[in-house]
Chains A and B, each alone.
Chain A
Amino acid sequence: MDSMRKWGLGAALAAVGVLSVASIAFAQNEKPPAPQPATASQKAEEENPEPPRQSWSFAGPLGVFDQGQLQRGYKVYREVCSNCHSMQMLSFRNLADPGGPHFSEAQVKALAASFQIKDGPNDAGEMFDRPGRPSDKFPWNFANAQAARAALGGALPPDMSVLAKARTYERGVPWFIFDIFTQYQEEGVDYISALLNGYTQTPAGVTLAPGQYYNVYFPGHKIGMPPPLSDGQVAYTDGAPATVQQYSRDVSAFLMWAAEPKFEERKALGLRVMIFLVVFAVLLYFTKRRIWARVHEDAHA
């Protein structure tokens, strides 16, 4: 035991020794690191506050969407965001899916019909407009990305289909490890709803190009999206407050669903699988103990 401790100390000292020799060798050599496209000091301008962490009905192992919230969120999306943003991977029929806004078939049919969809060519070889059907994808307000840029001062609004999963913020050590256990997976929605509330006065010393706005949560702070929401802009019929804060929560939740329409199905199946596996593992463990008991009995014979 004693010699072990001595050796352990020796080993630790040797490790320190190797490290310090290495550090001296490298101190001579302070050239910039291997050329990677990963740019260096974006950090200074990216000093962003952490988006406030909100509580969502869909967080955690038993999380489910608040259907009313998704319906309101869709309304905000449709009346505001869809003026600029596309959502190309969703069809009107998805709005009737269980685990989503769950509008009735009739509502979805009427809703789809209120859009004009380009179709064709017809027998005469011409493109034509017709009322939408539930199987149609959400149409985009712009013919193409160039048209959107031209109309919006050069900035391109990203497609919203998976936007809630495509945005995050850095959690850092040790929080990212705790997130495994707490199942914190709502960085994207927390960020989006913070962003929508994040327009402030431009601080002194910051100059914005035309078409740029100051947003504390946007990386680099200069965003090409004008503040999209204002109080009272969207009429809610279910009594929820018509405030920017409420709108941004609702539309963020809607974006989460849009990014993964099978979200509720995933968590529901997950619970059943976990229960099965835990029971199965315990049974296997006791079976294994029974089997190995023979070996251990022999050992004591």
Chain B
Amino acid sequence: MSSNATYIPKSALGRWFESRLPVMGLIHSSFIDYPTPRNLNYWWTFGGILSFMLGAQILTGIVLAMHYTPETSLAFGSIEHIMRDVNYGWLIRFLHSNGASMFFIAVYIHIFRGMYYGSYKSPREVLWILGVIILLLMMATAFMGYVLPWGQMSFWGAKVITSLFGAIPAIGQAITTWLWGGYSVDDPTLNRFFSLHYLLPFMIAGVVVLHVWALHVVGQNNPTGIEVKNIDKDTVRFTPYATAKDAVGLACFLIFYMWFVFYIPDFLGHADNYVEANPLQTPPHIVPEWYFLPFYAILRAIPSKLLGVVALFGSIAVLAFLPWLDTSLVRSGRFRPVFRVFFWVFVAVAVGLGYLGSKPPEGGYVIAARLLTVYYFAHFFIILPIVGWLETPLPIPASIAEAVLPQGGSAATIGGRAAAEPSTKG
């Protein structure tokens, strides 16, 4: 990042404050002056969308928490109280419950974007790993949030997933009892889940700050995967250029989000969760929320419970090792004809696992889930390393400007940037 030397507050008070705590300069250099590659497409707007969604979940969550009661005999009724008696409670609740799904839609697109354009490769490994940590925290948050309404699926989902820890040899049962705060999912469990559900989003916010910091140290990747070489030719200022594009992306995303909130608010949920939790009556089908389905399919595909749990966590943890599993020196899938095919096969496999996760674990579904599970891991451990070695990449342009401008990068300086040190790696 360029230093904030370019930023001089207009008012005397501003200058006085800035010389004591240069926070405005930090904001200026991060979100106004910050050079962004000029060729970013709309897949790059999902970072901004995710930040918006985190803020939206925290805001709606805080209002819900004012009216919600984390007690097993009252929780279900308190949600209906929110739906019926709290002013705009139905809106806040549907924003929050659908917001969780939107959050995951955005994060999965964001991750696939990174996988396609090689955004995890040097020097962005730490940035990428911070992203994987955010994904894990999001999953924990959403899992515990789904328990709060204390419907049938809340209860039985919590029971199935927490019981997984019982698969750990020797100490498994003790861990499960410790997690539950008793010998079954009950009041202590609900209380601690509520407490943690309130806490984790703020931890996510902390990791997001690190994530953005790391981003601003190494600079953004772009669809060509070529590093910025000439800051004047290859980049535009964050504001107004990236801001305007992010705003369009966010507005379109909001249309999608609001379609669900106002017209099909229960589409992504389970009807069973409108039945109050009953520990004595197991629902015929216990299915997690859609965003966990691929991982749930992997869990059930493995015949041993312990190995299933290992595979479940492994399927997420493997993402953190992506920077070292992909051996190709070329970043962007745009110049990697073989990788590109495998990328789309992988997307299809992930979607297929999601479908299988929603089906009962019997007959052909199990066999299919096993095949796709093997493929899922093979993609990371076999296909990516080998393709990286064998593939002949397409010719790569010399610079971003050359790739996107007709006359090979003879463009004039854009957007009247003040001279700034190119700080991104060449």
Residues of chain A having any CB pair with chain B under 8 Å? 3-4, 7-8, 10-12, 14-15, 18-19, 21-23, 25-26, 29, 31-43, 46, 61, 89, 94, 158, 161-162, 165-168, 173, 179-180, 183, 185, 187-188, 219, 259-262, 265-267, 269-271, 273-274, 277-278, 280-281, 284-285, 287-288, 291-292, 294-295, 298-301
Contacts and interface: CB of A to CB of B under 8 A. Distances in A.
B24 to A, nearest CB: 23
Contacts of B255: 274, 277-278, 281
Given A23-B367, A277-B255, A262 B83 contact: yes
B67 interface: no
16 contacts: A7-B337, A33-B303, A36-B160, A38-B287, A40-B362, A61-B263, A161-B80, A168-B271, A179-B264, A185-B267, A266-B94, A267-B263, A295-B414, A298-B414, A299-B406, A301-B412
Given A281-B252, A291-B241, 10 more contacts: A29-B303, A33-B362, A37-B156, A37-B160, A260-B90, A262-B90, A271-B262, A281-B248, A281-B251, A285-B248
A11 B341 contact: yes
A162 B151 CA distance: 12
B244 A288 contact: yes
Contact of A298 (B263, B392, B411): B411
Nearest to B265: A266
Contacts of B55: none
Contacts of B208: none
B284 A39 contact: yes
B15 interface: no
B140 interface: no
Classify the interface of chain A: helix, strand, loop or mixed.
Answer: helix
Interface residues of B, number: 78
A158 B278 CA distance: 12
8 A-B pairs with the lowest CB-CB distances in the bound complex, closest first: A270-B262, A22-B374, A166-B274, A281-B251, A11-B341, A33-B361, A168-B271, A4-B337
A168 B367 CA distance: 28
A176 to B, nearest CB: 8
B378 A18 contact: yes
Given A14-B383, A273-B258, A278-B255, A37 B286 contact: yes
Contacts of A180: 259, 264, 267
Contacts of A301: 411-412
B360 to A, nearest CB: 6
A21 B382 CA distance: 13
A284 B375 contact: no
A42 B77 CA distance: 31
B355 interface: yes
B349 to A, nearest CB: 9
Interface stretch (B122-130, B294-302, B319-327): B294-302
A38 B262 contact: no
Contacts of A89: 77, 80, 84
Contact of B271 (A37, A46, A167, A294): A167
Given A180-B264, A295-B414, A8 B274 contact: no
A37 B287 CA distance: 11
